[in-house]
Amino acid sequence: MMKLRCRAKTQPGSAIGSVLHGKLCCRARTQPGSAIGSVLSVILCVMMAFYPMCACAETSENLELYARSAVLMDGGSGRVLYDKDGDTPLPMASTTKIMTCILALEAMADGTDIICTVSGNASAQPQVKLGMVEGDTFYLSDLLYSLMLESHNDTAVCVAEAVAGSVEDFAALMNEKAVEIGCTQTWYITPNGLDAEDENGVHHTTAHDLALVMRYCLRTSPQKEEFLAVTRTASYTFTNLSGTRTYSCTNHNAFLNLMDGALSGKTGYTAQAGYCYVGALERDGKLLIVALLACGWPNNKGYKWSDTKKLMNYGLSAFELRDITNLTASEANLDVRTEDIAVTNGQQESVTTVLDEPDPTPVLMRAEEEIEIRMEMLRTLEAPVQDGTQVGLVHYLVDGEEYAVTSILTAGAVKERTWLYCLRKLTEQYFL
C-alpha cells in the first residue's frame, strides 16, 4: 500500500491546523478476456482546519438594524455575511423592477431595440407613473430609465407587455428566471411590485433571494454592463417615437452619493411592504450587496439608508478576501496491482495523481474563520487506467458551505495485464 500525503499551503502568516495522512490502495484483477470490473469502495473524506473555530458571521454581531429582514452578501461568492431573518418571505415593492429591467435587457441582447405600444392597462396604473397615453409608442431602451430612475409603474407594465405579450406571461418569465438564479422563496405577480395576490400567494421575496437577484444582475447576466449603465445614470431625457412628448428622469437612488464605491440599487415602497432597498457597493476588490425588506413606514424614510451604510461598513471592516483554493494537495501514488501469476515477487504498477488546477475563488471571510478541505478518493481502481482519469474530488468550504470543487486526476496510465502483456514483459526481462 502507498500512503496518500496531503499538504496544504495557506496565505503568509497563517498557521496550518493539521496534516492528515490516509492510505490508498488501487487493485486490479485481470484474466484473459475478462471485462474491466467496477470501481469499488468510494469516498474517503479528509478534513483539514486552518483557523480556529468562530461563530457564524450572522450571529457574531448585533447591528441593531431597523429593517425587519436584512442580508449582507458577498457579491463575488454569494456568501451571506450577515443575516437578520433573511429567509422570511415579505412583499418587496419596487425592488421587483430589477428583475423587470434585466429581463428586458436580455430580450434586447442581440442589439435590436423593441418598440413598446402603451395599452390601456399600462396607462391605468397608479402613481408613481410616467403619464403614458394609450396607443403611444416608445423604444424599450428609453423606458428602462423611466423604470429604474423614477420607478414608474405604468412603464413597468408597458415593458412587460412589449417583452412577453402580457403581464401574466412576463410574470411567468420572472418566476422562471428566479428559479434559475437560485431563489427558493420568491413569487412574482406584477412587473412593478405593487401589492398583489393570486392563488399562489402574495407578491413576495426574501432578503436573501433579493440579494441573489441583484448579484445576478451585476455578475452573471450577459447584460450586466447594460444594467449598470442604466442604474448608475444620474438623469435621462427621451421622447415618444413620434417626438410629440418629452420626458425627463432623475435617479432617486440616494445611496449612489452616500458612500464611495456605491454601484447600483433600487428603492421600493408600498403600504404592505414598507420601505425596501437593494443596493451594491464595490471597494478594495470587495463587492457587497445589501437587501432590506420592511425597513420602516412613512416618517421613517431614511431608515433604509442608515441600515445600508451600517451593513456596508460592517462588510468593509470585518471581512477580507481570501482565495480559498490556494491550498495545494500533494501528489499521491495509486497502486494498480493484479493477482495474475505474471506479477509475482511483489511487482506493481503505479500511477501518479495530481490536483487539477482550481479556478481562483476569492471569498470574503473574517480573519479568524476556518477553511476546510474535504477530499473524496477512490480506494480501488481496475486496470487499464487512462491518463487524466478522475479519481477524486477536493471540496473547498467556509463555515460548512461549499464554494469551489476541483478534480484529482491520474497523471499517467496503467495498461491491463493481459497474457500478451505479461509475455512481452517476461521476454523483455529475461531474454532482452
Q: Are 429 and 417 contacting, i.e. CB atoms less than 8 angstroms apart?
A: no
* SS3 at position 205: strand
The pLDDT mean for the chain works out to 82
What pLDDT does residue 38 have? 30
Greater confidence, 4 or 335?
A: 335
Q: Measured between alpha carbons, how far apart are the two ends of the chain, in Å? A: 30
pLDDT in tens, 127-158: 999 999 999 999 999 999 999 999 999 999 99
Higher confidence at residue 342 or residue 171?
A: 171
Q: Is the peptide bond before 128 cis (omega within 30 degrees of 0)?
A: yes
* Pair 190, 91: CB distance under 8 Å: no
CA distance linking residue 145 with residue 149, whole number of Å: 5
Q: In this structure, which amino acid lies at residue 300?
A: N
Look at residue 430 in the predicted model and tell me its pLDDT: 73
Q: How far apart are CA 26 and CA 332, in angstroms?
A: 12
Mean pLDDT of 299-314: 97
The string of pLDDT tens digits covering residues 216-254 is 999 999 999 999 999 999 999 999 999 999 999 999 999
| Residue pair 162/117 in contact by the 8 Å Cβ criterion | yes
Per-residue pLDDT reduced to its tens digit, 167-211: 999 999 999 999 999 999 999 999 999 999 999 999 999 999 999
What average pLDDT does range 314-339 have in this prediction?
A: 70
State the pLDDT at residue 418. 65
Tell me: cis bond preceding 126? Omega within 30 of 0 counts: no
392: three-class secondary structure by DSSP: strand
Longest dimension (CA), the chain: 98
Higher pLDDT, 7 or 138: 138
Q: Tens digits of per-residue pLDDT, 355-371?
A: 888 899 999 999 999 89
The pLDDT of residue 4: 29
Q: Per residue in 60-104, pLDDT tens?
A: 578 999 999 999 999 999 999 999 999 999 999 999 999 999 999
What does the alpha-carbon distance between residue 185 and residue 270 come to, in Å, rounded to a whole number? 20
The lowest-confidence range among 41-55, 309-323, 417-431 is: 41-55
Residue 10 confidence (pLDDT) above 70: no
| pLDDT recorded at residue 208 | 98
pLDDT tens digits, one per residue of 280-295: 999 999 999 999 999 9
